[in-house]
Every structure is written in structure tokens, then in C-alpha cells.
Amino acid sequence: MIGLADCNNFFVSCERSINPALDGKPVVVLSNNDGCVVARSNESKRLGVKMGQPAFEIRDMIEKHRIIALSGNHLLYRDISLRVHDIFRRFVPSALDYSVDESFLDVNGIPVDVLPEIGEAIYNACWKEMRIPVTIGFAPTKTLAKIATEVSKKGGQRLGIIYDEADAVKIYDNIPIYDLWGVGRRLTKMLYQNGVYTIGQFAARDVEWVKKKMGVTGERSWRELHCQPCIELNHVERLLQDSISESRTFPEDVTDYDYIRARIVIYTSDCARKLRAMNGECRSVGVFLRGNPFRNTEPVLRPERVVRLSSPCNDTITLTEVALDILDNIFIEGAAFKRAGVWLGDIQKCVLRPGSLFETEVDAKTEKKQLMNKFMKTIDKINNVVGYKNIGLASQLVKGHQGHNDGYSSSFQAPSRKK
Ligand SMILES: [Mg+2]
């Protein structure tokens, strides 16, 4: 069996977690670039607010029903996400983070009759410690765990378990095909044209038909519906996420600027590499530092800032420049930090306009972007062959005097501040 823990209405729940006055009220969170709805509370869902709907379309509804529209605080969401994922890990041998608010739980070897207890314990811990409601599903495959979670959430349950195929088949006919994990708009259209409207109809098709129409991805989904596990997370992780982040807790409090600077370079490089791997580019960069929450001498330090880029970007050099700029702005001389992180947000599919044949003057910016793109692709290719830590920015090198190993080597003297 495999489990899935999924936070309900995550961004809204995060806002409620720090502001209980929002409880029970219709709330939406809007994206910061175009003001589209990216999260809805159950109350807003009931009023008919759609996911992705632009704010101007629901202006009347917002007024009439006093919907509270918030602009996203993504560093807060990231912070809560890390802590919620840590909670998941306390109850299972290991967990694979799938997105900011979802984790697959490895429950291999755990007796099936203990699973409800584990689910209940995870729910209680997330609610009591973070005020984040989660839904948990267990099933023989990842796809079925997704279904178990979705069905429970819709039915207002905290926990759903699909034990075997006979169990699964019972609910298939009630689930529209577009709710199947990995089936996007394009595939839905194709399946509709072929008379497949529900997961039940899809599962009833011949596997050869599925293979021919949808290739290996479709076949994997089909097999998973028939309780044959075959989806690995590396099959899906290249899907476009809306944000990526990387952060670490230091084993000791750190006051050294150069050390933190080198970490920020490393985290940014890592995020940028992932961003390129999913063929995306981002429009926002955030950096955050955290003081030690267990030092009760002062309110916990949490300097952070998000900067919006003038144009979408995925190259390590530009993103690092921006991140270090932010660091210089938020770093507090003499303060001790326990954690640092980088966040890339407002991710979209990479669009690289090829220079048109008819353009008499080549846009210098486009040309630079194309060159940078080639350069980054080359570096990624080399690093993919020899291990991604081999080629990086010189600015990530710092004397390893804090004596801790977070999996990145750093063995040279760093350039000193602002050089
Ligand atoms: Mg969720």
C-alpha cells in the first residue's frame, strides 16, 4: 500500500493558520501576477468561485457575499509546507514530497489494519500543531491513493482507503475522466471523442487501445487503476509546478554572511536547475532567513522578501544575482540564523521566441536569452552526466568553517562581501 497526505485548500488554510478570524468565512487567494484565484475555501467553492478565475470576473460576487480576497504570501506557505511535510514524516518510515501541499507516504510493511490509525494521527498532528486540515488516502497504487484522497475530500472525510481492485471499481463510475491523475485538457478531449467520460469507462477499455491512443503514460495510469503499481515520481515530477524552493536548517546558529551567501547561491542554482528540467521559467524570486525558534530571547527573526522580475527567467546567473541582492537587503549583521532558503514562483512554461527571419534587427534581449539558454542547457547536460554538483558558480564556494555538511561540498575561500 501507499499513502497520500494532501492539505485541504492549502493557501487558504495557511492564511487561516495565522489568522483564525478567517475561519468559516469565504476566502480566496489570488495569484500575484494576474489576480487569478489560486485557492478557495469551501465557502467560496460553494458560492461558485472557480479555480483560475480572474478576480475582475468575481468582483460582484466578492462584494455581495463579502468574500475575502487575499494576495498570496508564498513564503508563509513554503514555511508551513516544510513543517507539515516534517509532520508527515514522523508517522511513516519515509515520505516523498510531491508538491507544496502533498506527500506520498511509504507504508510498505505496515499492517493494513494499522493504516486508519496512522491516518488519524497525521490528521490530528497537522490540525493541532499547524491548524492545517489534511486528507489522507491509502491504496495499492499512487493513482488510487490520489483517487482515495479526492473522493474522501469531496465527501467531507479525513481518510479514505481503497484496499483492492474490487473496492476501487465501485467508485470508478462516479469519477469524471478529467479527475484522473495526469489527464489534462488535451487528453480529456480525445477521450471524450472516444466515448470515455468516466474513470470506470477508461479502466474498462482494452490496455492495447489505451497504449495506442495515449502511449506509455496512459498505459501506466490504466495499470495503476488495475492495482499494478508502475508510476514512479520521476515520471511525473517534470509537470509544471507553480513554485520551487530549496532550504536547509543549519545544525548550528549561523552569523557568518559569507557562509549564508554561499548557501543562497547553492539553493538558487538547485532551484534553477529544477526549473529548467521542467522547461519552466519564473517571474518571482524570494529569499528567506529564519532565526532559531528555540531561543526564547527575542521574537523569532524572519527576514524575507520576494522580488518580481521584469521578464520571466530560468538562468542560474540572473536568478542568483537577484537572490543575492535580496539577501543583502534582508541580512541582519550580528543576528544568528538557523535556516535559509530560496523560492522561485510564478512559474510558467518557457517561451523562447526564435529570432524571426523577417526581423531586420535582432532584439538584443532575445539574443542574450537564447545564448544563455544554450549555455545553461550545456551545463545541465554535463552535470547530468557527471553529477550535478560538478559545474556551478564560483560564488557558492566558501571555506567550510561552520563544519557542517548539507550534501554540498564547499572547499574554497569565498569572495568577500559585495565584491
Ligand atoms: Mg491540496
Domain containing residue 203: CATH number: 1.10.150.20
Same structural domain for residues 156 and 275? no
pLDDT tops 80 at residue 21: yes
Orientation of helix 257-277 relative to helix 316-330, angle to 10°:
140
**Residues written for the chain:** 419
User: For residue 303, how many other CB atoms are within 10 A of its CB?
Assistant: 17
Alpha-carbon distance of 272 to 313, in angstroms, equals 9
Higher pLDDT: 35 or 338? It is 338
Please report the pLDDT score of residue 310 as a whole number: 85
**pLDDT tens figures, 333-342:** 999 999 999 9
Lowest mean pLDDT among 26-40, 98-112, 171-185, 343-357: 343-357
Q: Using CB atoms within 10 A of its CB, is residue 196 exposed (0-12), middle (13-18) or buried (19+)?
A: buried
Q: What's the CATH code of the domain at 274? A: 3.30.1490.100
Average pLDDT, the chain: 86
Strands 2-7 and 134-139 come out as antiparallel
332 C-alpha to center of ligand 1: Å?
Answer: 35
**pLDDT tens figures, 159-205:** 999 999 999 999 999 999 999 988 877 888 999 999 999 999 999 99
Same structural domain for residues 106 and 179? yes
Same structural domain for residues 84 and 60? no
Give the residue-averaged pLDDT of 298-308.
86
70 C-alpha to center of ligand 1: Å?
Answer: 18
10 C-alpha to center of ligand 1: Å?
Answer: 6
Tell me which H or E stretch contains 151.
Answer: helix 142-154
Give the residue-averaged pLDDT of 11-34.
91
101 C-alpha to center of ligand 1: Å?
Answer: 5
379 C-alpha to center of ligand 1: Å?
Answer: 34
For residue 89, being part of any structural domain is answered with yes
pLDDT tops 80 at residue 233: no
Same structural domain for residues 194 and 329? no
Please report the pLDDT score of residue 142 as a whole number: 95
366 C-alpha to center of ligand 1: Å?
Answer: 37
Q: Phi and psi of 172, rounded to 5°?
A: -55, -40
pLDDT tops 70 at residue 418: no
Please report the pLDDT score of residue 386 as a whole number: 66
Share of the chain above pLDDT 70, in %: 87
Same structural domain for residues 30 and 107? no
For residue 403, being part of any structural domain is answered with no
Alpha-carbon distance of 138 to 91, in angstroms, equals 14
How many domains does the chain divide into?
Answer: 3
Please report the pLDDT score of residue 128 as a whole number: 96
16 C-alpha to center of ligand 1: Å?
Answer: 15
Domain of residue 88, residue span: 78-234
Q: Using CB atoms within 10 A of its CB, is residue 396 exposed (0-12), middle (13-18) or buried (19+)?
A: buried
23 C-alpha to center of ligand 1: Å?
Answer: 18
169 C-alpha to center of ligand 1: Å?
Answer: 24
**Eight-class DSSP state of 291:** -
Last residue of a domain, one of 178, 212, 234: 234
For residue 322, being part of any structural domain is answered with yes
Please report the pLDDT score of residue 136 as a whole number: 98
Same structural domain for residues 206 and 179? yes
Please report the pLDDT score of residue 241 as a whole number: 67
For residue 373, being part of any structural domain is answered with yes
Query: 140 vs 32, 188, 220, 288, CA distance in Å?
Result: 38, 25, 14, 39
Please report the pLDDT score of residue 363 as a whole number: 66
99 C-alpha to center of ligand 1: Å?
Answer: 9
Q: Which one, of 111, 181, 99, lies nearest residue 142 by Cα?
A: 181
Same structural domain for residues 215 and 109? yes
For residue 363, being part of any structural domain is answered with yes
7 C-alpha to center of ligand 1: Å?
Answer: 4
Lowest mean pLDDT among 204-208, 223-227, 235-239: 235-239
Same structural domain for residues 115 and 51? no
Alpha-carbon distance of 59 to 90, in angstroms, equals 43
102 C-alpha to center of ligand 1: Å?
Answer: 6
CB-CB contact of 231 with 279 (8 Å)? no
31 C-alpha to center of ligand 1: Å?
Answer: 16
pLDDT tops 60 at residue 413: no
352 C-alpha to center of ligand 1: Å?
Answer: 31
The single residue listed with the C-alpha cell 534581449 is: 365
Same structural domain for residues 267 and 377? yes
Give the residue-averaged pLDDT of 247-273.
92
**pLDDT tens figures, 66-105:** 999 998 888 888 889 888 998 999 999 888 888 889 999 9
Higher pLDDT: 198 or 297? It is 198
The model scores a pTM over 0.85: no
359 C-alpha to center of ligand 1: Å?
Answer: 45
Same structural domain for residues 265 and 224? no
6 C-alpha to center of ligand 1: Å?
Answer: 5
184 C-alpha to center of ligand 1: Å?
Answer: 17
Last residue of a domain, one of 50, 76, 102: 76
Query: 283 vs 23, 37, 233, 318, 348, CA distance in Å?
Result: 31, 18, 26, 12, 8
Same structural domain for residues 50 and 171? no
Please report the pLDDT score of residue 402 as a whole number: 45
pLDDT tops 90 at residue 130: yes
**pLDDT tens figures, 385-399:** 765 567 888 888 775
Structure-block grid coordinates of residue 155: 465527501
Band (pLDDT 50/70/90 cuts) for residue 151 is very high
